[in-house]
Structure 1
Amino acid sequence: MYDQKAGDLSALRKLGSVYSGADGGRGTREEEERERIEIALLLEGLYRLYGFDFRNYAYPSVRRRIWHRIYAERLLSVSGLQERVLHDRSCAERLVDDLVIHVTEMYRDPSLFAAFRERVVPLLRELPSFRIWHAGCSTGEEVYSTAILLHEEGLYDRARIYATDINEEVLHVAERAAYPLKKMQEYTKNYMRAGGKDAFSGYYGASGNVAVFHPFLGERIVFAQHNLVTDRSFNEFHVIFCRNVMIYFDSILQNHVHDLFHESLCPQGILVLGHKESITFTKHAGHYETLDQQEKIFRKIK
């Protein structure tokens, strides 16, 4: 018996392969140009109607995620997805969820947090109070990692942490400070490698299969929606974390975000980027000194 569902899915994937060149070639130049136009129109509509601007995101990543959403919506083309997105906000939100990358964990890249403890904490000790911005905070694990680190260094009562993301749903998760209990073993290892000073289990309680972090860790954190592409600076910060966000942006958008961070950092402020990111080829390269090249920690000097 013919399986209609399987047949439809096969047809969708075959169509996608025409555009991707999965059948052995890259498709015709006309097909590639048509697809680029369709994607540009889709992203323009998403921006004009809903305010989400992905027009300067790296094209290969955007294209791949758009086709993922086309398959998921059981559509046949980028234009078909555009029509649905423009008339169905829930579809637009699903597409935005696909386009925004959410990868995080407690003490992700433990060596970064160890370096932060060694190189940045002594600078923060000299301040009566300080503000930290976690830009693109996702579900908040790294925000609470920072809160724990500052607590252990006796500095948390001086801090105000602003944690922002484009996606409201992940912010709701972050505000709840509740994560799968099964991840705590891995997070404990990260915490120890990052130079943790206490028992990591002392910072959360178990409720069923969920680990809920103690409320005091959230007392000095403000979670808010902020779009790095379209929104402006909203405060002056002593530290900005933005790790592995700009790798999905093209050079134009990367420079735009670096403008935003430079404007938002106070004199001698600290910028922390992801391992694959750099300020080297931006117009602000001469405005920072390097505190840790491997961990991508920079200090604003002008």
Structure 2
Amino acid sequence: MSDKVEDIELRLLLQAIFERYHYDFRGYSMASIKRRLSQAKSRFQCDTFSQLQGRVLHEADVLASLLSYLTVQVSELFRDPHYFRVLREEVFPHLRTYPSLKIWVAGCGDGEEVYSLSIMLREEGLDDRTMIYGTDVNPQALRKAEAGVYDLDRLPLFTKNHQLAGGKGSLSDYYTAAYGAAVFDKSLRKNVVFSDHSLVSDAVFAEVHLVSCRNVLIYFDRELQNRAIGVMLDSLIRRGFLGLGSKETLRFTQHVAAFDEFSREARVYQKRSDP
């Protein structure tokens, strides 16, 4: 099969997913999504994207599995520790001046970043006045995030990251280990709401002081990046903060003039007073 025909099939598959289930991946980077759906094609023993489309349209449970390929869930607690250290040491002093805080983790996946922020807020004495919203388009990921259970063999890396991020005390204070898994304390979810939300199609749902959206925009094309950043911009209070992934930047987007570069290395931006 020629690449041209395969690309047509891929676009039709994404259109079918949108029209049947209202998940919109049509603006994602085609190279990335083609690679991931090629893996899914093998997983479902389909020779072509057209065959995979037929299964998605007629077997509702196939979509649930397919979402794990379409949405990237790979993360870790305190991933890129320098980012969290900048939040702790430079951003939190600004946020501390507000009587109450709202933080949005957009594309929260399995919840690692939400728990990282919750732990850090507790260590800084800000947890009681902070609400965290963790959103994603993948319902399976949201259920896993809600559970707060991670494989025990991931804990050495989590612990190392926590210390590099300026952690106070031991990470083991926040979880219980049993049967090869670490279960994070339910109290960390006391002020956390996990919810379905798509940067592709949904609008602003809350006014927040910090948006953390890391390693999500790299999977979007330029038009969708502009749309997503616009949603996050509209959700931020005046002088609110936006954190992106280490390979992401606002530099080439239409919203670059609406932000000041707060920390170039950590990819943290601050919304201007008059964006």
> TM-score of the superposition, structure 1-length normalised?
0.88
Amino acid at match of 2:62: C
Which residue in the other structure is 2:248 paired with?
A: 277
Which residue in the other structure is 1:8 paired with?
A: none
For the Cα contact (< 8 Å) 1:65–1:98, is it kept in 2? yes
Q: How many residues align?
A: 273
CA–CA separation in structure 2 for the residues paired with 1:282 and 1:97: 28
Which residue in the other structure is 1:202 paired with?
A: 173
Which residue in the other structure is 1:85 paired with?
A: 56
Give 1:97 deviation, angstroms: 1.8
Which residue in the other structure is 1:35 paired with?
A: 6
CA–CA separation in structure 2 for the residues paired with 1:219 and 1:141: 16
For the Cα contact (< 8 Å) 1:119–1:291, is it kept in 2? no
Deviations 1:95-127 (A, max 9, x none): 222111111111001111011111101001100
Give 1:53 deviation, angstroms: 0.7
Which residue in the other structure is 1:95 paired with?
A: 66
1:184 is paired with a residue whose SS is helix
1:112 is paired with a residue whose SS is helix
Which residue in the other structure is 1:219 paired with?
A: 190
Which residue in the other structure is 1:67 paired with?
A: 38
Which residue in the other structure is 1:76 paired with?
A: 47
Matches of residues 256-267 of structure 1 in structure 2 within 5 Å?
A: 256-267=227-238
> Are 2:95 and 1:120 aligned?
no
For the Cα contact (< 8 Å) 1:268–1:300, is it kept in 2? yes
Q: 2:149 aligns with which of 166, 174, 178?
A: 178
Give 1:33 deviation, angstroms: 1.9
Larger CA deviation: 266-275 vs 177-186: 177-186
Larger CA deviation: 48-57 vs 81-90: 81-90
Deviations 1:13-67 (A, max 9, x none): xxxxxx5xxxxxxxxxxx2221221111111010000011110111111111222
Q: 1:161 aligns with which of 89, 107, 132?
A: 132
Q: 2:210 aligns with which of 218, 239, 247?
A: 239
CA–CA separation in structure 2 for the residues paired with 1:271 and 1:247: 16
Which residue in the other structure is 1:129 paired with?
A: 100
Which residue in the other structure is 2:23 paired with?
A: 52
CA–CA separation in structure 2 for the residues paired with 1:181 and 1:93: 26
Give 1:150 deviation, angstroms: 0.8
Amino acid at match of 1:128: P
CA–CA separation in structure 2 for the residues paired with 1:137 and 1:286: 26
User: What percent identity do the matched residue pairs reach?
Assistant: 41
Deviations 1:115-140 (A, max 9, x none): 11111010011000010000000111
For the Cα contact (< 8 Å) 1:69–1:98, is it kept in 2? yes
CA–CA separation in structure 2 for the residues paired with 1:134 and 1:128: 20
CA–CA separation in structure 1 for the residues paired with 2:216 and 2:53: 25
Amino acid at match of 1:256: R
Give 1:207 deviation, angstroms: 2.1
Q: 1:292 aligns with which of 234, 238, 263?
A: 263
1:97 is paired with a residue whose SS is helix
2:193 is paired with a residue whose SS is strand
Amino acid at match of 2:113: E
Amino acid at match of 1:235: A
Larger Rg: 1
Deviations 1:202-233 (A, max 9, x none): 11112221111122111010011111111111
Amino acid at match of 1:106: L
Which residue in the other structure is 1:229 paired with?
A: 200
Amino acid at match of 1:265: L
Give 1:278 deviation, angstroms: 0.6
| Larger RCO: 1 or 2 (CA < 8 Å, sep 6+) | 2
- Give unmatched runs, 5+ long, in structure 2: none
Deviation >6 Å, runs of 4+: none
CA–CA separation in structure 2 for the residues paired with 1:118 and 1:296: 15
Which residue in the other structure is 1:192 paired with?
A: 163
Which residue in the other structure is 1:107 paired with?
A: 78
CA–CA separation in structure 1 for the residues paired with 2:76 and 2:42: 29
Q: 1:253 aligns with which of 214, 224, 247?
A: 224
Give 1:72 deviation, angstroms: 1.5
> TM-score of the superposition, structure 2-length normalised?
0.97
CA–CA separation in structure 2 for the residues paired with 1:203 and 1:95: 33
Amino acid at match of 1:283: Q
For the Cα contact (< 8 Å) 2:64–2:140, is it kept in 1? no
| Root-mean-square deviation over aligned CA pairs | 1.0
